[in-house]
Amino acid sequence: MTAFIQSREELERLLVTMNREGWSIRGLARHFSISRNMVRRILRKHQANRDHGHDILKDPHKEHAIRASKLDPFVGQIEQLLERYPKITGQRVLEEIRDAGYTGGASILRERLRVLRPTPKRTPIIRFETEPGLQGQMDWSPYTIDFAGTGKSKVNCFSYVLGFSRRHYIDFTERRDFFTLIRRHQDGFAHFNGVPKQCLYDSEKTVVLRWEAGKPVFNPSFAAFITHYCCRPIACRRAN
């Protein structure tokens, strides 16, 4: 494992987000000096978690039955097809596995193919703006508002801006704790109908616990949440 990786969780987070950014399974294995099978296992685990929903906000007192995907028994066959025919279409893969007994739909196959066969890397473009869908930026801003009848009260503005289009989602809350942060992210993603590949954050404690040797140590709960959406968090030090 590459020396700068501090934990298994960080490795898994990087594999998921770099795969979405266009890295192939072979490229990831070479970059981190691990086997391709290990990369595949981690990506499959992440996709299975996505299929069953993120549980960070679920009621811990409720039991949730986890159902196996109809696609699971055919993953090996799909990988063989992609290895032999890198440009094979999703429709052709669907036909092949249906001949082998697959009875599920096409949408879950398309989701799985995005993991097993990432999109090719784009040639870097030198420009001031980020590419569409690449990056967002999240900030909190405190405001004191003088309400009629109740007097002054402090509120917090949650701001999420997309780097390319400058589309902006804002919401005002009384709290800025971890669960409020998560809910506002979910509302923002629903507003944009999507999630950027990366997001910039300051050193808010709900996101970054501390800095060690110039590197951020992310809040594990937040890192798990944002990685569920295949988004890579990028921490920025606050100005002195």
The fold of 135-235 is Nucleotidyltransferase; domain 5 (3.30.420)
Where does the pLDDT of residue 215 fall: very low under 50, low under 70, confident under 90, or very high at 90 and above? Answer: confident
Global pTM reads 0.54
Q: Please give the Cα distance from 134 to 127 (Å, whole number).
A: 13
Where does the pLDDT of residue 240 fall: very low under 50, low under 70, confident under 90, or very high at 90 and above? Answer: very low
Whose tokens are 């949408």? That residue is 107
151-166 average pLDDT score: 90
Q: What percent of the chain has pLDDT over 70?
A: 84
pLDDT of residue 213: 79
pLDDT of residue 114: 81
Closest CA to 138 of 172, 173, 168, 183: 168
How is the chain split into domains, by residue range? 8-116, 135-235
Q: What percent of the chain has pLDDT over 90?
A: 34
pLDDT of residue 190: 92
Three-state SS string over the chain comes to CCCCCCCHHHHHHHHHHHHHCCCCHHHHHHHHCCCHHHHHHHHHHHHHHHHHCCCCCCCCCCCCCCCCCCCHHHHHHHHHHHHHCCCCCHHHHHHHHHHCCCCCCHHHHHHHHHHHCCCCCCCCCCCCCCCCCCEEEEEEEEEEEEECCCEEEEEEEEEEEECCCCCEEEEEECCCCHHHHHHHHHHHHHHHCCCCCEEEECCCCCCEEEEECCEEEECHHHHHHHHHCCCEEEECCCCC
Q: For the chain, what is the mean pLDDT? A: 83
56-62 average pLDDT score: 52
173-202 average pLDDT score: 92
Q: At residue 53, does pLDDT exceed 80?
A: no
pLDDT digits (tens, 9 = 90+) for 80-133: 888 888 888 989 999 999 999 998 888 888 888 887 876 565 555 444 467 888
Where does the pLDDT of residue 68 fall: very low under 50, low under 70, confident under 90, or very high at 90 and above? Answer: low
Side-chain half-sphere exposure of 217, counting CA atoms within 13 A: 7
